[in-house]
Chains A and B, each alone.
Chain A
Amino acid sequence: QSVLTQPASVSGSPGQSITISCTGTSSDIGRYDFVSWYQHHPGKAPKLILYDVTDRPSGVSDRFSGSKSGNAASLTITGLQAEDEGDYYCASYTTTITWIFGGGTRLTVL
């Protein structure tokens, strides 16, 4: 598999919740709990928002949460804010001792 599968876009209104899915295989997400999520604004450095499926780095809002079931992981953002708009990528460690990213999801806050 060359890339994890994410929806191309999601949208929500301020205050609402959204979930972004990330589907892999038994060789990546299904095998390890080493899934990370990144927020990326074009032209800037990607920002880590979740790692090890559910853990948040210091300084990341608790509005961001993660989960995993089988070969799929999810990122949920509650209480949407305008600043959450941007591109979101999942990533997973794989059985070939490499990392694989998702295709990215553009979040639009309406």
Chain B
Amino acid sequence: EVQLVESGGDLVQPGGSLRLSCAASGFTFGSYWMHWVRQAPGKGLVWVARINSEGTTTKYADSVKGRFTISRDNAKNTLFLQMNTLRGEDTAVYFCARDNPDSRGYSGPDFWGQGTLVAVSS
């Protein structure tokens, strides 16, 4: 069974940093692209970042570019999101998600975790 379990969410002050983790199991983690997607309170889903299976290429939404870094440790089946210079608008539930292996191209995630809450406030 595919499982994705996020952790690391917390209350942090504006300007602070946080690192999220996502533990993967039930599939060959190192063979899949992975994504981070977030949902602010009462708002919709917003794509944040993507990393390829080897961890060599990444892509970010403009809103987090230069502040967030997606990375992975395939030996430990873990995905990370390093978040720096956090702002109030970064307050959200952060989901990690596996890229869909059945898509003929780039249809995005298939399996998702349940998310971890990041709150940015003084």
- Whether B100 pairs with A36 at a CB distance below 8 angstroms is yes
Chain B contact residues, CB within 8 Å of chain A? 4, 35, 37, 44-47, 50, 59-61, 95, 97, 100, 102-115
Taking a contact as CB atoms under 8 Å apart, the answer to whether A34 and B107 are in contact is yes
Residue of A nearest to B45 (CB): A101
Bound CA–CA A46/B44 (angstroms) = 12
How many residue pairs at the A-B interface have CB separations less than 8 Å? 81
26 interchain pairs (CB within 8 A)?
A33-B105, A35-B107, A45-B95, A45-B111, A45-B114, A47-B112, A48-B109, A48-B111, A51-B102, A52-B103, A55-B102, A57-B110, A91-B45, A91-B108, A93-B106, A93-B107, A97-B59, A98-B47, A98-B59, A98-B61, A99-B50, A99-B106, A99-B108, A101-B45, A101-B47, A102-B44
In the complex, are the beta carbons of A45 and B102 less than 8 A apart? Answer: no
A32 & B108 in contact (Cβ 8 Å cutoff): no
Known contacts A44-B114, A45-B114; is-contact A93 B105 (Cβ 8 Å):
yes
Contact A101 B106 (CB under 8 A): no
- A residues near B104, Cβ cutoff 8 Å: 33, 52
